[in-house]
Amino acid sequence: MCVGRLLGSVSETVTKTLQATLATPTTGKEQRLQRLLDTYRDALHDAFDAGANTMSAVNDIVTPYHLPYQAKDALKSYVPKLRDTYNAEELDDEHPARLVNRAATFDHSPERDHGFVWQVPQPGRGTNFWIPLQINPEQESLWFDLLDGDATAGELRLQRHRTSWELHVTVEYSVEEPTEPDDPTYIGFDVGESALITGCALKRDVPRKPMLVSGSRARHLRKEMHTTLKRLQERDAAQWRIDERFEHYQNALTDIVEKASREAVEYARQFEDAVIVLEDLSYIREYLDYGKWMNRRLHNWAFARLQGRIEDKATEAGIRVEYVNAAYTSQTCHACGRLGRRDEQAEFVCPHDDCHVSEFQADINAAANIARRANPWGESVRWEPGRDDSPRDGSACDSATVPRETSEKSSQMRLAADSD
């Protein structure tokens, strides 16, 4: 039976973070930006070190600081959460300056080099100043929605990265939730390591037009990031240098997630009455144990982050999303629902003579299983494995993580997987 959640039928509030880089400020404006950030951090550390855990206690500490009220109000809300919600024991020195949504004063003019500008809040009356923003072009429509009132601003975060300044603005907006189609096409997405995403649509219980996004680039970046940062730390490199390299890799991985999630939703849009089906990974890391080597790699890859971006983009595209049980999707035959094996890492083998499947591409089989489980009558799997078919060297996991290889054996179902 389908577990997790179904999207509703009327409307839904979506939260997204808008990103912008501040245009190079003048010397005077940069000094005022830096003063705002430094003073905010001083107040934050002072309130945290004092153990302030209520808004009134934080207010007593931050009131003397020369900060705009938007920053003080953000501190009053944020500091009590640090220990109660986040269980923080100490603070990083590089916290961004947080501002409540009353600091979200923006303007736009097509006559300017940078159309969007932000009014930076300052302490005292008449001290605020405007600064141009270099926005992400893909988010331009949401910036206009923010100006028009079709989107509502939440928290703002101002951060400095060596020679540049960044502004992040949380926004909320409503989208129409898709209704449940009468004859849905369920599309399963298996998220893994070697194959970042494998998608497969089911029509009349037959896999159709599978898609695959390679995970080689992400895997290479994660390995390079781990090696580079370790070497920098061993050489006692300056912290700004370590932070700069970490940010570089995180930005590159974020770009991969954005592109992969966009490709997944575009794949789903080609099918009529599409419903995207994802694995419920809430407890996947507790259930899986493939040894220290693979567990570290699984924990390092943000499966949920990629799924979240798929869901965000699907919601915006009007595509319904369902979550299903994640157990044994790569060890179960999508056709007969019984446990099989993986004699070769990239192949699933169904050993049952009465099943028409002999061999099947393992990742596509997993994605087909995920799609199949959206049917409340479709799960006939015993939730206990006959044996653990994962390779003992940790080179694969339940969400297929193996390189693609072509079997020398014939397989009638490879053609079916790619047919229409």
Query: 268-300: per-residue pLDDT in tens?
Result: 999 888 899 988 765 454 444 444 444 444 444
DSSP 237: -
Helix (H, G, I), strand (E, B) or coil at 341: strand
Find the radius of gyration of the CA atoms of the chain. Answer: 25
The domains found in the chain, sorted by start residue, are: 11-176 (no CATH), 185-374 (3.30.420)
Residue 388 has pLDDT above 80, yes or no: no
- Given this model, what pLDDT does residue 178 score? 59
- Given this model, what pLDDT does residue 403 score? 29
Contact indicator for 177, 379 with CB cutoff of 8 Å: no
- Given this model, what pLDDT does residue 59 score? 96
Helix (H, G, I), strand (E, B) or coil at 50: coil
For residues 255 and 198, what is the distance between their CA atoms, to the nearest angstrom?
Answer: 18
For residues 167 and 138, what is the distance between their CA atoms, to the nearest angstrom?
Answer: 16
Q: What percent of the chain has pLDDT over 70?
A: 75
Opening angle at CA 191, ends 201 and 195, nearest 5: 90
Residue 317 has pLDDT above 90, yes or no: no
Paired tokens of 113:
């080099």
For residues 397 and 386, what is the distance between their CA atoms, to the nearest angstrom?
Answer: 16
Q: Quick one: pLDDT band at residue 356, thresholds 50, 70, 90?
A: low
Q: What is the pLDDT of residues 8-21, one digit of tens each?
A: 445 677 788 899 99
| E strand or H helix at 415 | helix 412-418
- Given this model, what pLDDT does residue 225 score? 84
Residue scoring higher pLDDT (202 or 112)? 112
Q: What is the pLDDT of residues 205-256, one digit of tens each?
A: 677 788 888 888 888 888 888 888 888 888 888 887 787 788 888 888 888 8
Give φ, ψ of 69 to 5 degrees: -65, -25
Q: Parallel, antiparallel, or unpaired for β 129-135 and 11-22?
A: antiparallel
DSSP 332: B
Residue 416 has pLDDT above 60, yes or no: no
| E strand or H helix at 95 | none
- Given this model, what pLDDT does residue 358 score? 63
Residue scoring higher pLDDT (388 or 97)? 97
The residues, any chain, with a CB within 8 Å of residue 194's CB and separated by 6 or more, are 214, 215, 216, 219, 400, 401, 402, 403, 404
Residue scoring higher pLDDT (198 or 178)? 198
Task: Kindly report the pTM of this predicted structure.
Answer: 0.56
Residue scoring higher pLDDT (169 or 350)? 169
Q: Span 183-190, mean pLDDT?
A: 87
Paired tokens of 305:
């982050």
Paired tokens of 77:
């809300």
Rounded alpha-carbon distances, angstroms, from residue 149 to 104, 143, 170, 173, 174: 12, 10, 14, 9, 11
Residue 413 has pLDDT above 50, yes or no: no
Rounded alpha-carbon distances, angstroms, from residue 353 to 349, 358, 380, 384, 415: 11, 8, 18, 21, 20
Rounded alpha-carbon distances, angstroms, from residue 24 to 21, 30, 105, 114, 163: 9, 8, 19, 11, 9
Q: Which of 47-51, 158-162, 352-356, 378-382 has the highest mean pLDDT?
A: 47-51
Residue scoring higher pLDDT (335 or 239)? 239
Mean pLDDT score across all residues of the chain: 77
User: Which long-range contacts link 375-379 to residues 24+ away (Cβ below 8 Å)?
Assistant: 375/186, 376/1, 376/2, 378/337, 379/1, 379/325, 379/337
